[in-house]
Amino acid sequence: MKAFLILEDGTVLTGESFGAAKEVISEVVFNTSMTGYLEILTDPSYAGQSVVMTYPLIGNYGICMEDMESVHPWPKALIVRECAKLASNFRNEMTLDEFLKKYDVPGISGIDTRHLTRILREYGVMNGMITTREDFDLDEVVKQLKEYRVSGVVREVSCKEKRVLPGDGFKVALMDFGAKKNIEKSLNKRGCEVTVYPAYTKAEEIIAAKPDGIMLSNGPGDPKECVEIIEELKKLFATNIPIFGICLGHQLMALANGADTKKMKYGHRGANHPVKDLKTGKVYISSQNHGYMVMEDSLNRDIAEVSFINVNDGTLEGVHYLGKNVMTVQFHPEACPGPNDSEFLFEEFINMMEVAKDA
94 contact partners, CB below 8 Å, separation of at least 6: 62, 63, 87, 102
Picking from 267, 261, 254, 272, the residue whose alpha carbon sits closest to that of residue 318 is 254
Residue 338 in marked binding region: no
Compute the distance between CA of residue 114 and CA of residue 101 in angstroms, rounded to an integer: 25
Compute the distance between CA of residue 306 and CA of residue 317 in angstroms, rounded to an integer: 8
Q: Which residues are identified as catalytic?
A: 247, 332, 334
Picking from 217, 301, 269, the residue whose alpha carbon sits closest to that of residue 49 is 269
Residue 288 in marked binding region: no
Residue 291 in marked binding region: yes
Residue 249 in marked binding region: no
Residue 37 in marked binding region: no
Task: Give residue 315's identity as a one-letter amino acid code.
Answer: T
Residue 31 in marked binding region: no
Residue 216 in marked binding region: no
| Whether the Cβ atoms of residue 19 and residue 130 lie closer than 8 Å to each other | no
Residue 203 phi/psi, 5-degree rounding, is -60, -35
- Rounded alpha-carbon distances, angstroms, from residue 93 to 101, 127, 216, 335: 14, 33, 32, 22
Residue 224 phi/psi, 5-degree rounding, is -65, -15
Residue 221 in marked binding region: yes
Where is the binding site for L-glutamine, in residues? 45, 219, 221, 248, 251, 289, 291-292
